Amino acid sequence: MEAPAGWRCRPGGRLDMSHGFVRHIRRNQIARDAYERAVRQARGRARGRLTPTPSRPRRPDQQVYRPRRPGGPGGDANPGPPPADTRGPRLFCLEYEGDDGHVTAVIVHQGDSAEEEVTRRVCARSPLEPALRRALCQRVQDELSKRRGTG
C-alpha cells in the first residue's frame, strides 16, 4: 500500500515526528513542573521564616474585676460573720482612690448620714482637703437620696 503524494509515513505505520510539535509539548511540561516545584519550595521557606509573636493581652486598657478577699486590701480584717449592724441594710460600697493609688472602701447603710458617718469614715482612712470633703459629702448625699427613693 502506497501512501499518496504529500503524506509522510514511515514503514510500519508510524507517525513522522520530525516536525517537533511533541518536543514543544514536552518542554512546556518540564518547565511547568519546575515552576510548580519552585513555588512549593518558596511557600515552604515562607512558612519556616514566620516566628511566633509573643502573647499579649487583647485589650490592655480594659479593667478586670477582682473581687475583694476577706483580710486583703480594702476587705474586712475579720473573715468571720459580719457584726450585727443597727444602721439598716447595706445600700452600696463607696470606693475612693487617693492620689497615691490607695483605694479606700466604705460600706454605706440606709441609716447613715452623708456628713456625719460616711465622709468622716473616708477621711479617717485617707485625709481630704475641705473642698474635696464637701464634694464627697454632696456626692454621697445624692447617692443616698437616689437609693432611698427620695431624690
Burial (CB < 10 A; 0-12, 13-18, 19+), residue 30, is: exposed
The answer as to whether 120 is a domain residue is yes
Question: 124 or 7, which is more confident?
Answer: 124
Structural domain includes residue 60:
no
Q: Which three cell numbers stand for residue 94?
A: 463607696
Whole-angstrom distance, CA of residue 58 vs CA of residue 44: 30
Structural domain range at position 38: 15-49
Asked whether residue 101 is assigned to any structural domain, the reply reads yes
Instruction: Give the range among 59-63, 88-92, 96-100, 130-134 with minimum mean pLDDT.
Output: 59-63
Residue bearing the bigger pLDDT, 1 or 97? 97
* Residue 72 domain-assigned (yes or no): no
Q: Could you tell me if residue 2 is inside a domain?
A: no
Distance (Å, whole) CA 55 – CA 66: 22
122 belongs to a structural domain: yes
Is residue 61 included in any domain, yes or no?
no
pTM above 0.85, yes or no: no
Domains of the chain: total: 2
> How far apart are alpha carbons 94 and 113 in whole angstroms?
13
